[in-house]
Structure formats: structure tokens, C-alpha cells
Amino acid sequence: MAACANILPRIRSIYRWQGVVEDEPEAAILLNTAVGRVDALIHRIKTLHSYDVPDIVALPIYKGHGPYLDWVRANT
């Protein structure tokens, strides 16, 4: 579903959850996929993630290196 995954370990997340400010270590993952695969990827992440409300966002690509974007499309 994703051509590439970049895992960013040991990040610090500060957020409000159920009225309490939390300060927790987490990891973040950036997944590169084609626009037509975003909904399926979001659904899959939600089914696998342990959080009730995982931070899942899709960011539009304004511009990029053409051969890389072609590779992402070819591998999703």
C-alpha cells in the first residue's frame, strides 16, 4: 500500500487526551503512497493502530522529483 516508510523513532509528543495533558515518547512513520491508495492505507492503519484516535493525516504533494514520484506510483 505504501512504496516507502520512514520511521522517526524517539519523538516527544505533548497532547491533551481526555482532559489531561500527556507528555509521552512515541515514534512517527511517514508513508509514501499514490493518491488513489490513501483511503485504503488510512483504513489499514486504523485497524492496526493501538490508539483510539491515531494521528493520521494525508498531505498533498505540491511538487517533487519526477522520477521519485513515478517510482511511488509504480510501487503502490
Model pLDDT, residue 72: 96
Closest CA to 38 of 65, 76, 71, 10: 76
- C-alpha cell belonging to residue 46: 486504523
Task: Give the residue carrying C-alpha cell 512513520.
Answer: 29
Model pLDDT, residue 28: 96
Closest CA to 69 of 53, 61, 6, 52: 61
Model pLDDT, residue 50: 95
Model pLDDT, residue 29: 97
> What are the chain's domains?
4-74 (3.30.70.120)
Model-wide pTM > 0.85 = yes
pLDDT (tens digit per residue) in 24-74: 999 999 999 999 999 999 999 999 999 999 999 999 999 999 999 999 999
